[in-house]
Structure 1
Amino acid sequence: MSTAGESISPEGLEALKAELAELEGPARRDIAARIQRARELGDLKENAEYHQAKDDQAHLETRIAILAERRRNAVVTEVSTDASVVGFGSTVTLVDTDSGKSQTWTLVGAAEADVSAGKLSIESPVAGAVMGRKIGDVVVVQTPRGARNLRVDAIGA
């Protein structure tokens, strides 16, 4: 990945923009209304509702700042359509040659990564090791549990 920005797919950029719009609009208004209602309850020093709303507001503003920074740094990277080589946006099935266990990942930018949804960051050691590889190639990946031998079993665009 270059220092010029953070790779993101066109779909990922749209999702980022949609989340940012939701947080900057309705979510921000909801918290402002909660703070106003809590203020009306009286003494702010011992008003747990007010303090919780202010904490939620701080978390919201932090999330907005993070997403805005990601949007500024986003570099839309077209998804690879070459199913013979692993590239950005490829869906790749990897088989651990020692255990026989297979996993399927879609390689995405760091902002889109979601392991539970099968989306692996291109900055991860596994993705970095398989980028540019072909079906049948075996790579050694250093993981916290030790070295793993992974074979590229299938590539989808």
Structure 2
Amino acid sequence: MTATSDNVAWLTQDAYNRLQEELEHLMGPARAEIAKRIDAARSEGDLSENGGYHAAKEEQGKQEARIHQLQQLLQRAQVGEAQAENGVVAAGMIVEIKFAGDDEIERFLLGSRELASLDESVQLDVYSPQSPLGAAISGQKAGSTVSYEAPNGREVTVEIVSAKPYTP
């Protein structure tokens, strides 16, 4: 699968490295550990009433799903430095917007949830650049007003207050 601009996940080198390490751990030591737990639970006998076996199998399923998610993400990742601080909205930026008729400022990361999870002390909403809002504001400058069609079919207008590079 080659990455196209529609499915690229922008990541810093640090985020890419962290996710690569997580993938290697899940595919190596973590897989071996869960296999041992399943074997140990299986040896206890009747699987229909074996809570340990079922819990280990469920954990294995979640782990395999995470492995698949990481493989897909890393395959389509575009690794680079933080975006330039020029006020233009792009993936990897903290964006502040105001919805028409509302004075409250919404602040979020435009990009990958994986990038935002680097600093767990910061709670950020994350919007994909491919989401209706993300697509509408990408490439726009701070001070611009744009409209887009929400998933419910309503026309939504937002003002871009600021766009600054995300630095974990």
- TM-score normalised by structure 1 residue count: 0.80
How far does residue 46 in structure 1 lie from its aligned partner after superposition?
4.1
CA distance in 1, matches of 2:133, 2:104: 15
CA distance in 2, matches of 1:8, 1:50: 39
How many Å apart are 1:110 and its aligned residue? 6.8
Give SS of 1:85's match: coil
Partner of 2:140: 133
User: For 1:31, what is the secondary structure of its paired residue?
Assistant: helix
Which is worse superposed, 73-82 or 129-138?
73-82
Stretches of structure 1 that go unaligned for 5 or more consecutive residues are: none
Amino acid at match of 1:149: T
* Change beyond 3 A, Cα 1:46–1:97: closer
Q: TM-score, length-normalised on structure 2? A: 0.76
| CA–CA separation in structure 2 for the residues paired with 1:51 and 1:135 | 52
Counting matched residue pairs gives 156
Match of 2:159 in 1: 151
In structure 1, the partner of 2:120 is: none
Q: 2:4 aligns with which of 2, 7, 14?
A: 2
Query: Please, what is the CA RMSD of the aligned residues?
Result: 2.7
Aligned-partner residue type, residue 17 of structure 2: E
Query: What CA distance in whole angstroms lies between the structure 2 residues aligned with 1:5 and 1:136?
Result: 27
* Unaligned ranges ≥5, structure 2: 118-122
Query: Superposed, which structure 2 residues align to 1:1-157 within 5 Å?
Result: 2=4, 6-10=8-12, 11-109=14-112, 112=115, 117-144=124-151, 146-157=154-165
